[in-house]
Structure 1
């Protein structure tokens, strides 16, 4: 989803920090639960930053659960800067994962547009 076509409001769930094997599944569940609770018209995104972007390239890891998020309409986005730091490219990611140039910029624009923010 491009910034110019994004709805006026939604929820952005931000996942970052040490021990991504622990928090990424929790962030994915949080985004899925939010999408279910907020209903069909709500926009929910999960933005993954830091070393956890590497887990989005492993079909056998947490990324294997992306189908549920995509089916629920949750946008899953990896930070482009984090991908570069991890030595990965957008093509390395599991199908359904998008890329934003910089998580920090994307998060700021979402909040300026009225989106709610939750950090996991």
Structure 2
């Protein structure tokens, strides 16, 4: 799936986390995404992009499985950086079902912003 085609040309919201990420911080990011969904409505694209060592919290053995699955059910895309996954020794098949990947988070963020998406770093 080509990530930039998920919500067509509609504008959306990018929520970006880079670097170390604790479980509580991820929970806060996912709550922010849920709050954004409630306010922006079902037509807005919302993506949570995880880059850096925090991608380990997206693995299928993560204690964050329930929170991630709940957020994904709200039509919030959760994306892991492919480069960060490789650095962490993980592959796409190691992730919680429903978590997608992008080859390079930095390029995905740039493409979305060029397309008019809003950017928030949490």
Structure 2 partner of 1:7: 8
Q: Distance in 2 between matches of 1:46 and 1:31?
A: 7
CA distance in 2, matches of 1:33, 1:70: 13
Post-superposition Cα deviations, 1:63-108, rounded to whole Å, max 9, x if no partner, equal 3212221211000000000000000000000000000000000000
| 1:102 pairs with one of 92, 99, 104 | 104
Q: 1:12, 1:47 within 8 Å by CA — same for their partners in 2?
A: yes
Tell me, yes or no, if the aligned pair for 2:60 and 2:97 is still in contact at 8 Å.
no
Distance in 1, matches of 2:88 and 2:12, equals 29
Unaligned 5+ residue runs, structure 1? none
Unaligned runs of 5+ in 2: none
Q: Which residue of 2 aligns with 1:20?
A: 22
Q: Structure 1 residue 7: deviation in Å?
A: 2.4
CA, structure 1 residues 96+5, in 2 after alignment: closer, same or farther (shift >3 Å)? closer
Report what 1:29 is aligned to.
Answer: 31
Q: Give the number of the structure whose residues are more often helix, by fraction.
A: 1
CA contact (8 A) 1:46 1:76 kept: yes
Moved over 3 A (4+): none
Moved more, 8-17 or 63-72: 63-72
- In structure 1, C-alpha distance between the alignment counterparts of 2:15 and 2:21, rounded to whole Å: 17
